Structure 1
Amino acid sequence: MTGRYMQAITPDLEAFQVDALMRLDGDTLAHIFEFLRPFRALVALSTTCKWIREACKPTMFRKCSLIGHVYPYFDLDWKSRILPAAVRAHVITLSIACIFRRLGDDWMLTESNAYGRVYQPLINELALMPKLRNIMLYAQEDDGIPWEALKAILAIPQVRSLSFKGLFDRRDSLPWNIRQLPLSPVAPLHRLSYRTKPYGASPSRTEVDFFVRYLQEARSQDSLEVFEMAGHCAPPELLNGACWSHLRVLSLHGWQFDVQSTSTTPCDMPLVSVLGCMAALRELSLKMAHLRGTIQRYVWPPGLDTSLPWPDLESFVLSHPRAGDQICAHLPSSLRHLSLLCWPRHYIYRDRRRRETMDEYGWGSPVLTSSELLSLLSSCRTSALEQLDIEFRADYAERALLRLLGSKFPVLTVLTIHRYSDEGPDDVPVSAIGDALSALRHLRVLRIGVDTTDYSRMYDYDSEDSMAALEIPASIFARTLAPEVEMVCFLRRYSRRARFFPFRIIREDHALPNAVYEPRVSKICGISIYDEDEPPLAMSAAIEYD
């Protein structure tokens, strides 16, 4: 496709073609430019004439990046490092992946005005981007993003969205140079996202204090629309007692944190009550590890007399659901995505080598049986559900559970199943599973992980022999599932990440349906073929593995 457009977009573009573009309104032009952008044809188009180049700039420079080793310093020529003036005027989203200087690490930066001398040039340059709304900051060091850099970013008045990926500063106290300065945004944020590593260092005291203080500000509660945070920095209890009138997306993930040191809310309070003042919520994700030796927490305990505080919820993700929880019985009809998986996945815990790492973290992995999951889902009234993710240990009620899906969720299009049993790999009832799911007449994609006692099968991946072996169960699914199914994917593990290997269902006249491996597919229905990252091997397990 790129070549076809490149033939039409040449430096000798005729004048009447430019004139035709000039007669188009701005919205139409923007749509054309946006269409060309993914094919890298927009750059070629921009070289044809000055008018077209100026017209392309808002689309070309809407997203920009600063990548490399940038050390803010008072004698550094920032104009040679920051974007040129012609680009700055169009930047809306700016990604920064640099190594920032920590005050006090250098004997020349110990004076009281060091912060201003080092970071004020950066603040001044970013303030010259009038359309800048989104900043994405990536940690380039194990020590994390320094508090000095965070303070500089928070000082940009036009920014409304901040995203951080990596770790924050590991120092347990603020640098003395900025200790007296307010460490909070100068303007209200609409989005705050902190995507830290799911497996790694525990949080610093300063890191937790920063987010606790931010969540307690009335301005944050009035403006925040998207809040994605590591669980150890913002346990649900910190959100209790305030009205989050505009919050649409709430995502807490990773480590759990001892809430008693940061909140007066009882830690056994039902989550539906803790998160009760969020009437505008559309997406709720509570993807947290389970602390070994504790009981899973109820979202909606039996006997609780209240109403659902999220009437327009569209996506609900809950890790390690508890048997007997009544939340499924109260989910609204607006729900389109329901995920009841373990985090980390239970197949990681069943692997002795990875379990040693989870033991070091103090994590357990309770998983529901198919009969317990049947009890949860049988009370659902979400008939418009389109995507369902479930994880269970097979028992006598497995077939009843799978048959229930067809009656409860008639328009389901994507189904992910993580199934565990103590049977051998050759005893997995593939045909029975397919028959039980055949009532799902709108199903397009089935993703399935069948974890058995034979772990060597789980570690096979994209060799010709392993793919040939998977074609057999894929073909069985092709013949037993509904004719609308287009893809069947099988989970296989390698390195530190599991992957779903896709098989396309082939249906031809006068022939039985068959399945063919599709090696070049990276997403299916917008969902990545990769599952969650796995924790690193513990030292003893790594030595044994080597």
Structure 2
Amino acid sequence: MLRLERCLRPFSLTCKRIRAACCPILFGECTISSERVDRRYQPEFIPSSLWPYIRTLSFAGPFDRDEIRGLRRANLEHVPLSWKEDALRPSRDAIKRVGDTLRVALQSMCSLHSIDISLPSSPEPVGSANLPGISPYILEAILSTQHLRQLTITGLLHDTDDALPKSFKRSLQARLSAFAYTLNQERSASQVPSAEREAIALLLAHVHDCLEALYLPSECAPIEPMNTWRWPSLKEFLLRGERVTHARPLIHMLGKMPHLRILVLSMAEPRGSRTPPIWPPSLDLHGDTIGWQDLEILIVTHPHPDDQIYSHLPHTLESVLLRCWPRHYKLHTELHQVYSAAGVQWTSPLLTSSEMLSIVQRIHAPRLTCLDLEFRADSDDHYLFSHIGVSFPSLSCLSIYRYRMPGEDEPPLADIARALSPLQHLEMLRLHLDFVDLPPIQVEGPMETPRFRLAILPARRQQFQDSDRTLTHAANVMAHLLGPSLICIQFLRPLWHPEEPQWEPFYVVRSSDAGGGDCVTVVHHPARTAYLVTHLNLPYME
């Protein structure tokens, strides 16, 4: 027996070494169901022996148990407030226990760096009580973890049943370098709970001086207090959602972010509102400069033609997207019904070619490789394309959403191509030219691919064939006149269902003819679209 132990001892030591080496690799990233956190229902949601190795922890699904959720989602709208409080008390006590369990576990995960929470979406509008959110007791437990540096939340941040605890501010210990909060459904500013705004304001007040990346829904962003803070480390800032009118222009806040590399202001316009400039022409910053000497990517939706910001952009820009959000054409798809069902009423004001030209003429960016513009054509259309062809020689990707002017029967394909022909580094050209003769294609349901359904729907098959003919002709005209670096031309074919592929790619093929000249043709190849987007490393393509 002793001899056997001596023989097994080296093997045992080897196993311990292997286990010590493998645990940081195998369990550095851990994903679990949120419902397993409370140990009253599970023996241990993650074995404590693994806690020291976890660097990234991802939670999927709601934190509530079924019985908790049943109490919280009961129809209590018409009962007295005292009765409602009594009814919710058991669920509140239960979720507090979940928060306490989570707090102990997270603070014991000494290597924990990132937490990612993914909540389920709901068929109901975002403002509905049926949509699960994060209880403030859970959020409080997460933000009390001192060594946490990154927090990503996809879904509704705040559960509408719970008020923010008085201890929330005192519990903020995490010094986050990145906070990303994105919704999986659209909503209006009127649907944002006041406790959600309060929680975000308290969190940002605690971490604004150390944040490097911040992604927020615009309808809940506490812009007024954000205007007063300095953001010395912020490199990426994104606002996405419904635009909210504030007392002071956004430049007061953005000017306090001198080291931005990525700025995304992707905001929808509420019906009946007017897009304000980021930096009004009448506003004098009293000699202050916005800095931004590191800015590489700028995305602004519904840009204002009189905005001063475009005269103060640095030469470091590599990508500029001046577009509608949502895209203007999407208001004519089923997405319009989705927005209405969610309780949002958005409009999509379009700039004209003249107004867009007045903006891009003020942008001096010799390193620009990606440009995305959305506008309605007018008499200055040719001048806009000519300016793009001459002023941005480094472009490798150009996206143009051009909506035809009244009375226009056919877009000037050859004129557009000649104006863009000086772009000798252009590899991908993405176009929506709003063809008047492009057949409207209605696709019913997202479960199968369009081509599969067309096999049994002759009328739909004819629609696709007619539109293929229009797009192939346009691609051939453009390819023969554009520069030799062009790899692919993509045309937008708006389909009624938003989950269907919208882009049709045509790949440029060059060969020599019998006389020794160049022969240029295009090949329609939908399957290679994803590969090309990845190959070119294109930002924010949709």
TM over 0.5: yes
Paired residue type of 2:232: S
What is the aligned partner in structure 2 of residue 345 from structure 1?
327
What is the aligned partner in structure 1 of residue 181 from structure 2?
194
What is the aligned partner in structure 2 of residue 481 from structure 1?
482
Gaps of 5+ in 2: 1-14, 73-86, 122-130, 444-449, 452-460
* Contact 1:172 1:206 (C-alpha < 8 Å) held by counterparts: no
Specify which of 152, 173, 195 is matched with residue 163 of structure 1: 152
Gaps of 5+ in 1: 1-48, 260-266, 532-546
Specify which of 94, 97, 102 is matched with residue 122 of structure 1: 102
What secondary structure sits across from 2:53 in the alignment?
coil
- Give the 5 Å matches for 1:193-342: 193-200=180-187, 202-215=191-204, 217=205, 219-257=206-244, 259=246, 267=247, 269-306=248-285, 307-342=289-324
* Contact 1:235 1:257 (C-alpha < 8 Å) held by counterparts: no
Say whether 1:522 aligns with 2:530: yes
What is the aligned partner in structure 1 of residue 519 from structure 2?
512
What secondary structure sits across from 1:317 in the alignment?
strand
Say whether 1:389 aligns with 2:372: yes
Please report how far the alpha carbon of residue 257 of structure 1 lies from its aligned counterpart in structure 2 after TM superposition.
Answer: 3.3
Specify which of 403, 407, 422 is matched with residue 386 of structure 2: 403
**CA displacement 1:75-102 (0-9 Å, x = unmatched):** 23342x326735x443322211032127
Question: Scaled by the length of structure 1, what TM-score is found?
Answer: 0.77
* Contact 1:358 1:364 (C-alpha < 8 Å) held by counterparts: no
What is the aligned partner in structure 1 of residue 57 from structure 2?
94
Please report how far the alpha carbon of residue 288 of structure 1 lies from its aligned counterpart in structure 2 after TM superposition.
Answer: 0.6
Paired residue type of 1:245: P
C-alpha distance 112-447 of structure 1, shift in aligned 2 (>3 A): closer
- Give the 5 Å matches for 1:14-163: 55=21, 58-67=24-33, 70-79=35-44, 81-82=45-46, 85-86=49-50, 88-101=51-64, 105=71, 110=90, 114=94, 117-140=97-120, 142-163=131-152
What is the aligned partner in structure 1 of residue 505 from structure 2?
502
Give the distance between the partners of 2:88 and 2:345, measured in 1 at CA. Answer: 43
* Contact 2:250 2:278 (C-alpha < 8 Å) held by counterparts: yes
* Contact 1:413 1:442 (C-alpha < 8 Å) held by counterparts: yes
**CA displacement 1:401-460 (0-9 Å, x = unmatched):** 011012211101111111101568971222222111111111111111122455744668
Please report how far the alpha carbon of residue 362 of structure 1 lies from its aligned counterpart in structure 2 after TM superposition.
Answer: 3.1
What is the aligned partner in structure 2 of residue 13 from structure 1?
none
Give the distance between the partners of 1:184 and 1:467, measured in 2 at CA. Answer: 60
* Contact 2:329 2:494 (C-alpha < 8 Å) held by counterparts: no
What is the aligned partner in structure 2 of residue 20 from structure 1?
none
* Contact 1:279 1:309 (C-alpha < 8 Å) held by counterparts: yes
* Contact 1:423 1:452 (C-alpha < 8 Å) held by counterparts: no
What secondary structure sits across from 2:272 in the alignment?
coil
Please report how far the alpha carbon of residue 477 of structure 1 lies from its aligned counterpart in structure 2 after TM superposition.
Answer: 1.9
**CA displacement 1:463-502 (0-9 Å, x = unmatched):** 6624454322222222111110111111123312463222
C-alpha distance 287-76 of structure 1, shift in aligned 2 (>3 A): same
C-alpha distance 71-99 of structure 1, shift in aligned 2 (>3 A): farther
What is the aligned partner in structure 1 of residue 172 from structure 2?
185
* Contact 1:239 1:275 (C-alpha < 8 Å) held by counterparts: no
What is the aligned partner in structure 2 of residue 543 from structure 1?
none
Percent of residue pairs identical = 31
* Contact 1:336 1:384 (C-alpha < 8 Å) held by counterparts: yes
Please report how far the alpha carbon of residue 134 of structure 1 lies from its aligned counterpart in structure 2 after TM superposition.
Answer: 0.8
Please report how far the alpha carbon of residue 365 of structure 1 lies from its aligned counterpart in structure 2 after TM superposition.
Answer: 1.3
C-alpha distance 58-504 of structure 1, shift in aligned 2 (>3 A): farther
- Give the 5 Å matches for 1:455-494: 456-457=439-440, 465=465, 466-467=467-468, 469-494=470-495
Give the distance between the partners of 2:228 and 2:484, measured in 1 at CA. Answer: 50
Please report how far the alpha carbon of residue 179 of structure 1 lies from its aligned counterpart in structure 2 after TM superposition.
Answer: 4.8
* Contact 1:492 1:500 (C-alpha < 8 Å) held by counterparts: yes
Give the distance between the partners of 1:237 and 1:174, measured in 2 at CA. Answer: 22
Please report how far the alpha carbon of residue 70 of structure 1 lies from its aligned counterpart in structure 2 after TM superposition.
Answer: 1.5
- RMSD over aligned Cα atoms: 3.3
Please report how far the alpha carbon of residue 140 of structure 1 lies from its aligned counterpart in structure 2 after TM superposition.
Answer: 2.5
C-alpha distance 352-85 of structure 1, shift in aligned 2 (>3 A): closer
Please report how far the alpha carbon of residue 235 of structure 1 lies from its aligned counterpart in structure 2 after TM superposition.
Answer: 4.9
* Contact 1:270 1:301 (C-alpha < 8 Å) held by counterparts: yes
Give the distance between the partners of 1:174 and 1:214, measured in 2 at CA. Answer: 16
Give the distance between the partners of 2:22 and 2:526, measured in 1 at CA. Answer: 36
Paired residue type of 2:137: E
C-alpha distance 458-435 of structure 1, shift in aligned 2 (>3 A): farther
Give the distance between the partners of 2:363 and 2:524, measured in 1 at CA. Answer: 35
What secondary structure sits across from 1:432 in the alignment?
helix
C-alpha distance 280-357 of structure 1, shift in aligned 2 (>3 A): closer
* Contact 1:422 1:453 (C-alpha < 8 Å) held by counterparts: no
What secondary structure sits across from 1:110 in the alignment?
helix
* Contact 2:333 2:498 (C-alpha < 8 Å) held by counterparts: no
Say whether 1:354 aligns with 2:336: yes
Please report how far the alpha carbon of residue 209 of structure 1 lies from its aligned counterpart in structure 2 after TM superposition.
Answer: 1.6
C-alpha distance 348-506 of structure 1, shift in aligned 2 (>3 A): same
Question: Scaled by the length of structure 2, what TM-score is found?
Answer: 0.77
Give the distance between the partners of 1:53 and 1:424, measured in 2 at CA. Answer: 73
C-alpha distance 522-56 of structure 1, shift in aligned 2 (>3 A): farther
What secondary structure sits across from 2:46 in the alignment?
coil
C-alpha distance 426-367 of structure 1, shift in aligned 2 (>3 A): closer
Give the distance between the partners of 1:414 and 1:334, measured in 2 at CA. Answer: 17
What secondary structure sits across from 2:433 in the alignment?
strand
Give the distance between the partners of 2:23 and 2:483, measured in 1 at CA. Answer: 49
**CA displacement 1:17-48 (0-9 Å, x = unmatched):** xxxxxxxxxxxxxxxxxxxxxxxxxxxxxxxx
Paired residue type of 1:504: Y
What secondary structure sits across from 2:198 in the alignment?
helix
C-alpha distance 119-173 of structure 1, shift in aligned 2 (>3 A): closer
Please report how far the alpha carbon of residue 112 of structure 1 lies from its aligned counterpart in structure 2 after TM superposition.
Answer: 8.7
C-alpha distance 131-502 of structure 1, shift in aligned 2 (>3 A): farther
C-alpha distance 295-426 of structure 1, shift in aligned 2 (>3 A): closer
C-alpha distance 184-126 of structure 1, shift in aligned 2 (>3 A): closer
What is the aligned partner in structure 2 of residue 412 from structure 1?
395
What secondary structure sits across from 2:494 in the alignment?
strand
